[in-house]
Amino acid sequence: MTTPVLIQPVVLSGGSGTRLWPLSREKYPKQLLSLVGDDSLLQATVRRVQGTPGVELAPPMVVCNEEYRFVIAEQLRLLGENGTVVLEPFGRNTAPALTMAALAATKNATDPVLLVMPADHVITNVPAFQQVVSQGAALAANGVVVTFGITPDAPETGYGYIQAGAAYADAACADARVIARFVEKPDLATAQSYLTDGSYSWNSGLFMMRASVWLSAMSICRADILAACQTAWDQGQTDGEFIRVGKEAFAQCPSDSIDYAVMERLAANASPNVTTLPPGVVLPLIAGWSDVGAWDALWQVLPKDGSGNVSQGDVLLQDCENTLALSEGRLIACVGVSDLVVVETADAILVSHKNKTQDVKKIVDALKRQGRSEGSIHRKVFRPWGWYDGVDAGERFQVKRIVVKPGGTLSLQMHHHRAEHWIVVSGTARVTCGENIFLLSENQSTFIPLGTTHRLENPGRVALEMIEVQSGSYLGEDDIVRFEDVYGR
């Protein structure tokens, strides 16, 4: 019996998804959102690999920004996955991210096939995806670098392209083609010529290769990145499910993408002058793929009514066509409109023509130039202990709704510029206020004077919900002096 190929799913979760503002924001990007179905995009990425025939799956590995670590760990836990989370102290693009994953995958002297997947893509035909992954695994196990090309159905200018060359010499995988070349996002006329030519596919950003093959290719193509990553790995440490790489060493790592660092050079490997790099092939992937890069792309993949409309949340549509309307809370009512995108959140509303959704990023850029928080953070902010929602604010006060999950513990902290009133709505709170430690239950309250060391905990088995009223001369989140923190912040 043939031993199944060991696949290490590697989920790259570093994007910010600014074109899906106001749902996706820098501090809570699109891969953490449930845009298609009940799973977040990251959870769907992990789940779609489960049950792939003919392979053995290792627990998933997610490479992400340190800021998202607790949300991602919680989303993996909800899937029942005991995965590994590799934390990048800085964003350095996908080539360093994959290199860190390859080093992590080989730490126990194993050499699995890495299945590299962006965390923020949608694939609607999971069986078709799994079939192609099985094909790719057989090639990758033999030292081939595999990428997946999406058969284009339009002259898309927002994607890179891969040109397929001659058939790869492997009778077991007749669909594999040698990579002839990678090309960057073309203009419309060039994209039309690619569509007419028939040998070009969209670059999906999905890859497969053995961990050792990637590290070897990096030693040839980008030895400087490999050296910086190796030093960062050697200086790193394991903290539960988190792997923290060396911050100072990783800060010196150059930024580069998988395509630029290695894949474009593999295309040149078709030349007889290049013999040291592994072969690179492209497999066609017809599985309902979308990178969900903007609102029009999300409209494409979501179920529509008879008039081409997509609605989620509290939405009423009258005589509308081809419109996307998403509400997180308040009622959206549209009358007699076509080809619109309307997205409502607690603190922002987007209205855009469907053909202009690529320009949403310009709104985000303008918000950042103006120093407005709506460009980077939601009103509802997730923390490792739960979340809070900024309900109201004025010149010298702020009101928050706070939910602490069972067992959750906020840091032992103090504020220089604000006092706080806490009112328990439901659940039980354990409060530290100065030298005193006491319990509060439903409808009870307490006062935390300015400058007093304090902590909030949930010792119960149900969520603790409370209202916090802050008052003082400065109410920013940076007015926190932490003395102890179980989450290592």
Does the structure show a pLDDT above 60 at 274?
Answer: no
**Predicted pLDDT of residue 24:** 95
* Cα 110–chain centre separation: 27
**Predicted pLDDT of residue 440:** 97
Q: How does pLDDT run across 103-125, given as a tens digit for each residue?
A: 999 988 789 999 999 999 999 99
Query: 380-484: which CATH topology?
Result: Jelly Rolls (2.60.120)
Does the structure show a pLDDT above 70 at 225?
Answer: yes
The predicted model gives 12-16 an average pLDDT of: 85
**Predicted pLDDT of residue 3:** 81
Does the structure show a pLDDT above 60 at 1?
Answer: no
The predicted model gives 168-192 an average pLDDT of: 85
Torsion-angle region of 389 (φ positive above 0: left; ψ -120 to 50: alpha; else: beta) = beta
| Structure tokens belonging to residue 33 | 């959102």
The predicted model gives 64-91 an average pLDDT of: 90
pLDDT band at 334 (very low <50, low <70, confident <90, very high): very high
**Predicted pLDDT of residue 93:** 94
Does the structure show a pLDDT above 70 at 5?
Answer: yes
Read off φ and ψ for residue 238, nearest 5 degrees: -100, 130
pTM equals 0.90
Out of 166-170, 310-314, 467-471, pick the least confident. Answer: 166-170
Does the structure show a pLDDT above 80 at 273?
Answer: no
CATH class of 5-290: alpha beta
Does the structure show a pLDDT above 60 at 171?
Answer: no
Domain residue limits, the chain = 5-290, 295-369, 380-484
The predicted model gives 399-426 an average pLDDT of: 96
Does the structure show a pLDDT above 90 at 462?
Answer: yes
For 211-369, strand residue ranges (E) read 237-239, 242-244, 280-285, 289-290, 310-312, 315-318, 324-327, 332-335, 340-344, 349-353
Average pLDDT over the chain reads: 93
Q: How does pLDDT run across 335-374, given as a tens digit for each residue?
A: 999 999 999 999 999 999 999 998 999 999 999 999 999 9
Q: How does pLDDT run across 62-71, given as a tens digit for each residue?
A: 999 988 888 8
Instruction: Give the HSE-up count for residue 15: Cα atoms under 13 Å, Cβ half-sphere.
Output: 24
Which segments of 252-333 does DSSP mark as H helices, in order? 258, 264-267, 295-301
**Predicted pLDDT of residue 269:** 55
**Predicted pLDDT of residue 482:** 94
**Predicted pLDDT of residue 172:** 66
Does the structure show a pLDDT above 70 at 489?
Answer: yes
pLDDT band at 417 (very low <50, low <70, confident <90, very high): very high
Does the structure show a pLDDT above 90 at 18?
Answer: no
Q: DSSP letters of 381-407?
A: EEETTEEEEEEEE-SSEEEEEEEE-TT
User: CB within 8 A of 331, min separation 6: which ones?
Assistant: 314, 315, 316
**Predicted pLDDT of residue 335:** 98
Q: How does pLDDT run across 240-250, given as a tens digit for each residue?
A: 789 999 999 99
